[in-house]
Amino acid sequence: MASDAQTLIQDAFKAVDIEVGGKRPWDIQVHNPAFYGRLLSGGSLGLGESYMDGWWDSPAIDQFIYKILHNRLNDRIPINANVIWNFLLAKLINFQRLRPFNVGQQHYDIGNDLYRAMLDKRLVYSCGYWSSPQHPAQNLAEAQEAKLDLVCRKIGLQEGQRVLDIGSGWGSFLKFAAEKYGAHGVGVTVSKEQAALARELCAGLPVETRLQDYMTLEGSFDHIVSIGMFEHVGPKNYRAYFKKVHSLLKDDGFFLLHTIGNNITTQNEPWSAKYIFPDGVVPSIEQIGRANDDIFSMEDWHNFGPDYDKTLMAWHANFEASWDSLKGSYDERFHRMWRYYLLTCAASFRVRYLQLWQIVFTKIGAKERYASVR
């Protein structure tokens, strides 16, 4: 006899064209009947954890999650006590400044072997630019090179100029900027594994990689970029972040912010906050606008969010194709966790819950004029 939780969940799934035990790619197979109660009590956290534990499967998790998000089924599941508690903690405690190296240790230091297997040859861990009007990308490598070049063109990068990359990862942008544009670069990351490999990959180039908190930076730069790092800053620190960038940027320089964007002002999704990006928060337009009020002039706001769907699906394909070589270092629960991470994120961009923004800023009163680049 079906429990009340099972009946409730199955009926909710049917309403959005998902069948438990069905044969379509977005249908799910439930292996443990405790799944229904866990989903009701835990919401999105319970859904993700029960998948990691092997309680359910779906041939196409991205399509399953897309169905849920597109039909706003997630809004109908009651908010549980853990979500409320985590929201209150985030309001009370500035986790991002309390433990600035935490995300580096828990996410980016997992293992360079994983990222080498999943990413393109340049090790670019941010959204590729597939939708260039002039030369649409045909694969991940082309999309990432197009994105790096797009950033260089947006800031008007010239030979010999000094550029700062806040959250420089494995040095992909600075390596490209040095090789293709003759730039000199300084990059900062909170991941020791990223810093070590970036120094190796950028050897012989005028590029310096530092294991350093961005708030301790000093100096002056012709241009500043931050690609896929702002999601770790936290709303309490947005204004201090913009003030810090302002203090480091030359008067006529450009600052390019490349960040995932949220349609609403909220805290991080609970499962992702626990397992993937601790202390991460995706900013909204309102939060970015308020934070740089009277600090910068916004010159350009470019949204190519759908390109992140393609990027994540390419990463997923690489990850699954490389699993046999990775499974000696990572267990099956990690395998399911990472697959769930990539595919649920892809669905979130596909349904346009999440965006990808590149925003160009200048100092108020700057003489240099910005020309829109796509």
Catalytic positions: 345
- Tokens linked to 116: 């080498």
Cβ-count burial of 259 within 10 angstroms (0-12 exposed, 13-18 middle, 19+ buried)? buried
Return the SS3 of 43: helix
Q: Cα separation of 170 and 195, whole Å?
A: 6
**Kind of pairing between the strands at 221-227 and 162-166:** parallel
**Kind of pairing between the strands at 29-30 and 184-189:** unpaired
CB-based burial, 1-30: b 16+ in 10 Å, e otherwise = eeeebbebbbebbeebebebeeeeebbbeb
Q: DSSP string covering 90-154, please?
A: HHH--HHHHSTTHHIIIIITS-HHHHHHHS-TT---S------SSS--SSHHHHHHHHHHHHHHH
- Tokens linked to 100: 């600035």
**Kind of pairing between the strands at 354-363 and 296-303:** antiparallel
Return the SS3 of 172: helix
Q: Cα separation of 222 and 155, whole Å?
A: 9
Sign of CA dihedral 239, 109, 270, 70: positive
**Kind of pairing between the strands at 354-363 and 249-262:** antiparallel
Return the SS3 of 86: helix
Q: Cα separation of 162 and 351, whole Å?
A: 39
